[in-house]
Amino acid sequence: MRVTVIGTGYVGTVTGACLAYCGHRVTCVDTDARKIEKLRRGEMPIYEPWLEELLQLAAARGGIDFTTGLEAPAAESDVIFIAVGTPPLETGEANLCYLEAAARSSGAAMDDSRFRVVVNKSTVPVGSGNLVDTLVREGIGEAHPGQLKRIHFGVASNPEFLREGNAIADSLYPDRIVLGAEEERTLQVLRELYGPLIAQSFEAPAFLPRPAALAQVPVVTTTLTSAEMIKYAANAFLAVKIGFANEVANICERVGAEAPEVMTGIGLDARIGARFLNPGLGWGGSCFGKDIQSLLHTAREYGYRSRLLEAALEVNLAQRQLAIQKLQEKLFILKGRTIALLGLAFKPETDDLRDAPSLQIAERLLQMGARVKAYDPIAMEACRESYPALRIQYCGSAEDAAQDADALVLVTEWKQFASLDLRGLAKRMARAILVDGRNLFDPETARQAGFDYCGIGRPQRAARTNGAAAPTMT
Ligand SMILES: NC(=O)c1ccc[n+]([C@@H]2O[C@H](COP(=O)([O-])OP(=O)(O)OC[C@H]3O[C@@H](n4cnc5c(N)ncnc54)[C@H](O)[C@@H]3O)[C@@H](O)[C@H]2O)c1
């Protein structure tokens, strides 16, 4: 099929690459000419593992190109995806100006040569499907006065669930595909488009083998409104789940229980599940905070106050402050101290810094008069560029960051940090204090390496005084 994807961010580029890899002819469109130029040169405007490799394969399969001009590709496409940003406004509402422009321009590009489906992949407030329909109509009306009845299109909501850092695998091997539309004809187009993914009939790329158990991807077909709600409900649930783990961890710390052990114990309950139960310095990223704010805003518009979701935001903010509290417990005064942050990205395997806990932690430390050094394997350039006012001293390695620092705070659990030479790091520091904000390290190993260690939900002194081994599962 012929496909246009509007927006070449994390979602749009990955969607375009996967669909072209599955054999569709794709054009990706963005108003940001710099991004388009980069993509044309084969350079990635974002860091996402395997994206470059997949784009190369995609070009040789269905074919994929990049442009700033929407009109020509949209005119010849069967499916037009909208994957533009929907960042939060000060009020918590989603800013729909990019979506509005994309929908209106899509309408303007249409003629009566074919039936087209406009698919909204951006996360938008419940009810935005109707808005897209209205805007496409307006676009058609403005560009082709009097021809609205002859130009046929459908609108669908197809929320995106990819995780940055794992986006290609999540898109090629999704847990489910949600398709929301009001007309069977529209759904039929999308079932055909996603046919290779639903049936898993495409040849898996060598670098990302298909999970052994995956034979068929479940498709959830819903109304437009339900599809929009599914996206918000999924993100809200995950944020609440992490918030719950953090709350329990904070209690663990006070009563002398080991939070990671507790999480193992509850996560094995099939009703609970082990994932998203890692206590830490709170979640971040472009989605959770923005989407919960937006859902709260929608609920308020309908006269409903969601106390649980409000609490999820509050708990998360407090969790980020734990890094500062723990540093104060160890160092008392932070003014004039040098604090080294390991990790800046909001999570490993991405360069995305949107709503990253590291930013708030760095900002607070700087306000308190501390010096902040940082090392991140990927996100330092993005941080320097996007947050020039943040007076962070960027370092070339974890060792450089640790050199002469008064404390080390592990903020992002990049895999490579797990194999750092802790003894070597401790020796370089003015004071060997380690705040392990993601419970990446084994406390005993860190202590033996010379660190004054504290994790999240881990009592200061080992709870096990009888020499018993870590909990085992039999
Ligand atoms: N990033 C994620 O992990 C993720 C996951 C699921 C859903 N989402 C949702 O998907 C949407 C996109 O997210 P993202 O992270 O890819 O955003 P992004 O900010 O990385 O990319 C959006 C792109 O859209 C472009 N754009 C804006 N207006 C345009 C227009 N009129 N025409 C063409 N291009 C335009 C921007 O220049 C930008 O490159 C958001 O609604 C987000 O909530 C994101």
**CATH architecture of the domain with residue range 268-454:** 3-Layer(aba) Sandwich (3.40)
Element (H, E) at 361: helix 357-367
Q: Which residue has the tokens 């040789």?
A: 60
Ligand 1 pocket test: which of 119, 166, 235, 286 has the largest number of ligand atoms within 8 Å of its C-beta?
286
> How far, in Å, CA of 40 to CA of 391, rounded?
34
Q: How far is the CA of 366 from the centre of ligand 1 (A)?
A: 31
What's the pLDDT score for residue 296?
Answer: 96
450, exposed or middle or buried, with CB in 10 Å at 0-12, 13-18, 19+? middle
HSE-up (13 A, CA, CB side) for residue 383: 29
18 given a catalytic annotation:
no
Q: How far is the CA of 7 from the centre of ligand 1 (A)?
A: 6
What's the pLDDT score for residue 474?
Answer: 56
| Structure tokens given for 140 | 């058609």
314 C-beta neighbours (distance < 10 Å), count: 11
Specify the ligand 1 atom closest to the Cα of 290.
Answer: 43
Specify the ligand 1 atom closest to the Cα of 121.
Answer: 10
What's the pLDDT score for residue 472?
Answer: 60
**One pLDDT digit (tens) per residue for the chain, 474 residues:** 999 999 999 999 999 999 999 999 999 999 999 999 999 999 999 999 999 999 999 999 999 999 999 999 999 999 999 999 999 898 888 899 999 999 999 999 999 999 999 999 999 998 888 999 999 999 999 999 999 999 999 999 999 999 999 999 999 999 999 999 999 999 999 999 999 999 999 999 999 999 999 999 999 999 999 999 999 999 999 999 999 999 999 999 999 999 999 999 999 999 999 999 999 999 999 999 999 999 999 999 999 999 999 999 999 999 999 999 999 999 999 999 999 999 999 999 999 999 999 999 999 999 999 999 999 999 999 999 999 999 999 999 999 999 999 999 999 999 999 999 999 999 999 999 999 999 999 999 999 999 999 999 998 765 454 444 455 665
Specify the ligand 1 atom closest to the Cα of 287.
Answer: 43
Backbone angles phi, psi at 290, to 5 degrees: -65, -45
In terms of Cα–Cα distance, which of 330, 389, 320 is closest to 357? 320
Q: Which residues line ligand 1 (CB under 6 A)?
A: 6-12, 29-32, 35, 83-86, 98, 101-102, 122-123, 160, 162, 164, 286-287
CATH class assigned to 2-222: alpha beta
Direct distance between the N- and C-terminal alpha carbons of the chain, in angstroms, rounded to an integer: 51
Ligand 1 pocket test: which of 31, 46, 84, 175 has the largest number of ligand atoms within 8 Å of its C-beta?
84
> How far, in Å, CA of 192 to CA of 196, rounded?
8
Element (H, E) at 314: helix 307-331
Q: CATH 3.40.50.720 region(s) of the chain?
A: 2-222, 268-454
What's the pLDDT score for residue 461?
Answer: 63
Q: Cα dist. 391→157, 276, 358 in Å? A: 42, 32, 13
90 C-beta neighbours (distance < 10 Å), count: 6
209, exposed or middle or buried, with CB in 10 Å at 0-12, 13-18, 19+? exposed
> How far, in Å, CA of 66 to CA of 40, rounded?
6
Ligand 1 pocket test: which of 5, 15, 28, 30 has the largest number of ligand atoms within 8 Å of its C-beta?
30
Per-position b or e across 221-260, b if 16+ CB within 10 A of its CB: ebebbebbbbbbebbbebbbbbbbbbbbbbebbeeebbbb
What's the pLDDT score for residue 463?
Answer: 45
What's the pLDDT score for residue 468?
Answer: 47
Catalytic residue among 287, 383, 395, 454: 287
Backbone angles phi, psi at 6, to 5 degrees: -95, 120
Specify the ligand 1 atom closest to the Cα of 123.
Answer: 41
Residue nearest to atom 37 of ligand 1 (CA): 32
> How far, in Å, CA of 145 to CA of 103, rounded?
17
Element (H, E) at 359: helix 357-367
Radius of gyration in angstroms for the set of CA atoms belonging to the chain, rounded to a whole number:
24
What's the pLDDT score for residue 360?
Answer: 97
